Every structure is written in structure tokens, then in C-alpha cells.
Structure 1
Amino acid sequence: MTTRWTMTIDCTDPALVAGFWRTALRYADADPPRGWDTWESWLVDQGVPEEEWNDGASLSDPDGVLPSISFLKVPEARTTKNRLHLDLQVSGGRDNPAAQRETAIRQEVARLVEAGATVVHEVAQNGVLDHFWLADPEGNDFCVV
């Protein structure tokens, strides 16, 4: 049996970073705990001061298949290169024609830049676009392949 897992992204502004990744992954805000209609009502019932409401956020796959992602507020900004990153696989794979892959990658990069990503580097191999290296609004690295 496999181990169930989720991913947590440390950030200084969980709402901002979660909003970006909601758009990037086409995820949804995680449902509040059972018994509460909203996260706000849960936070109030738990006695969490309003100034701490942006200390975390959570997203889930609307289809319930892929792992959920949490965002945890930390006091320090990112300072070094990620040792783990996401690859958003949009090109359909290397068995698709190069022009078709490039179009899919460039369209997705444009959508993500509009959502707040920054292009770090465009990577080609043998003159053919392979992937883009991007950063989310707080500088966390990811690729579009």
C-alpha cells in the first residue's frame, strides 16, 4: 500500500501564493472542516485572531485524484534555489510534434505569467523548445514542459 501524501509550500503570503497555484493547477480551495460552512466560521469558532487568518491556505484537486497542497506562512523569504519543484506537463509528451509541444508550452506560460509567474529561463535542446523555468509570485521555481 502506498503512503498518502500532500505538499506544503512555505511562503510569506499564503493567500497570494495559494491564489497563484489555484490558477496554475486549476485546483480549488480546500473545503472547510466537516461541520463548518466556511473557513471563516471555523477560524472564528476556534478563536483564531483575525490577524492570523492568512497564516495558511489549502488547495485540493476538484476531481479528488491528485494530492492537496498547503501553504504555510513563514517569517523568512525564499533565499536559495528549490531542491524540489513542480513540472507542469502540458505539451503532451515527446511523441507529439515539436511545433505542437511548443505551442502548448508557450500558451501555458502566457497564462501563468498573466496569473503572476515570472519567466526565469527558456530551455531549448538541439534548437527545439524543451521547457520553461518559471517562478511563482514569491520566487518558488517550477517548470512548464
Structure 2
Amino acid sequence: MAIGVQITFDARDPARLAEFWALALGYVVQPPPPGFDDWPSFLVTIGIPEEQHDRASALVDPDGAGPRLFFQKVPEDKTAKNRVHLDVNVGAGAEDRKAAAAAHRATLERAGATFLREVDEPAGWCLVMRDPEGNEFCLQ
């Protein structure tokens, strides 16, 4: 039996957070179903009122290898430390993985991320970051 996985984020602004994570991971916003040019056209067809079109957004790996990311609108802000976080491995295969991570850090900071700290321990190295809504993640 094949089991798929989707990672779901609560968000104040699902579209903005999806755009950030698309940049962070090299993902793309999930295209609308066949026969529709855009999501609003599809949502109207299935009876979702226009004022609710901002309730969700989703990303997919263009190579089809990684999990789908789903962003759902919630009214409250993030209030506690994540119990689960993503490790974004941008340095894999790079000649200088720390330089690759530093370059991606700069890109993500321009998109609204915040750098928290560098971790350099015998168990591993990473840059600890927060996305625009405060969710922690690591760049390696």
C-alpha cells in the first residue's frame, strides 16, 4: 500500500506563505484542475464565494518527488515554538555547503524570513530561521 504525505501549515495569509515556501523549496503553486485557467474560475464553479477564495493555497514539487504543502487560513497568530520543522538542504552536493546556505539565507531574508542563529555541533551544522509567519526551519 502506498502512503502519501502532505505537510499542512496554519497561516494568516496562505497565498503569501505559499509564495515564500515555493521560493525556499523550489516548489510551484499547485495549478488549477484541467479545464480551468486559474483557481478563482474553479472555485466559483464549485460554489465557493469570492470572499473565501483566500482560505487556502498549495504547493507541489515540480519534479513530483517531494510532498505537497498545504496552507490553510486561521484567525490566530503562531504563539509557540514548532514541535515539527522543515530542514531545507540547499547545500547538498555543493562544493561549499555553508556558502550555498548563506546565499539562500539572503534570498529568504529578502522574502521575509528572519535569521535566528547558527548551530555548529558535532551532530551537524545549520542556520535556524523563521518564515514570514514565525515558523522555524533550518537551512543546511
Q: Counterpart of 1:116?
A: 112
How far apart, in 1, do the equivalents of 2:101 and 2:37 lie? 38
Partner of 1:137: 132
- CA drift of 1:92 comes to 2.4
1:44-66 deviation per Cα after TM superposition (whole angstroms, max 9, x unaligned): 11222222111000111111121
Once the two structures are TM-superposed, the CA of residue 40 in structure 1 deviates from its matched residue by 1.1
Matched to 2:115, the amino acid is: V
1:106 aligned partner, one-letter code: A
For 2:89 and 2:126, the matched residues in 1 are separated by 9
Larger Rg: 1
Aligned counterparts of 2:119 and 2:40: Cα–Cα separation in 1: 43
5+ residue gaps, structure 2: none
TM-score normalised according to structure 2 size = 0.90
1:78 paired with 2:78, answer yes
Structural mapping, 1:1-145, within 5 Å:
1-92=1-92, 100-125=96-121, 130-145=125-140
Q: Report the TM-score when normalising by structure 1.
A: 0.87
Structure 1 unaligned blocks of 5 or more: none
Distance 1:38 1:67 in 2: 22
Deviation at 1:91, TM superposition (A): 2.1
Looking at structure 1, the residues matched to 97 and 47 of structure 2 have their Cα atoms a distance apart, in angstroms, of 50
Q: How far apart are residue 125 of structure 1 and its match?
A: 2.9
Residue-by-residue CA offset, 1:25-60 (whole Å, 9 max, x unaligned): 111110212332321101111222222111000111
The count of residues paired between Structure 1 and Structure 2 equals: 139
**Alpha-carbon separation, structure 2, partners of 1:120 and 1:43:** 38
Which string of whole-angstrom CA distances, capped at 9 and with x for unpartnered residues, describes residues 63-82 of structure 1? 11211111000111110000
Sequence identity (%): 44
Corresponding residue SS for 2:41: helix
